Structure 1
Amino acid sequence: MQSLTINFQDDQLFTKVLWLLEHFKKDGLEVVSKDDIEDLKALSKTRNEESIPFEEYLKNAH
């Protein structure tokens, strides 16, 4: 897989490029925002952490 980061200073240009990229999704292109990537990285770091049942969490919620 290859990745490409593009920074936009113009919202109109961003919208146009995103519109263009949407047409390649059926060919396998995946468009992911940088914020989404950072969230996924943070989430993946927690995969090996111990977890507690949600009901237990609710008991201790304030």
Structure 2
Amino acid sequence: MQTLTVNIQNDTLVEKVVWLLEHFKNDGLEITSREDIEDLKLLKSTKKEETVSFENYLKNED
């Protein structure tokens, strides 16, 4: 697998490039935003943490 990063400043061009790339999804192309990757890394880092019940989470919300 290879990863390619494309930086685009123009929102209109972003839409065009994503539209083009969408046509390759059936061939195995995966489109992931940098923000999604960062979120996934943060989630992965919490996998080994102890779980907390939702009730306890709400109690310590502040």
What TM-score range do you get, normalising by the shorter chain? 0.7 to 0.9
Under a length normalisation based on structure 1, what TM-score does the superposition of the two structures give?
Answer: 0.86
Q: Report the equivalent of 2:45.
A: 45
Percent identity among equivalent residues? Answer: 61
CA RMSD of aligned residues (A): 1.2
Distance 1:52 1:38 in 2: 23
TM-score w.r.t. length of structure 2: 0.86
Q: Secondary structure at the match of 1:3?
A: coil
- After superposition, the Cα gap between the structure-2 partners of 1:9 and 1:60, relative to the gap in structure 1 and judged at 3 Å, is closer
- SS, match of residue 26 in structure 2: helix
- 1:2-17 aligned within 5 A: 2-17=2-17
Distance 1:11 1:61 in 2: 37
Q: CA deviation at 1:56?
A: 3.0
Q: Distance in 2 between matches of 1:16 and 1:41?
A: 28
Q: For residues 5-34 of structure 1, give each alpha carbon's deviation from its aligned partner in whole angstroms, at most 9, with x where no partner exists.
A: 000011111111100000011111100000
Distance, in Å, in 2 between the alignment partners of 1:61 and 1:13 is 41
Query: What is the CA distance between 1:58 and its match in structure 2?
Result: 3.1
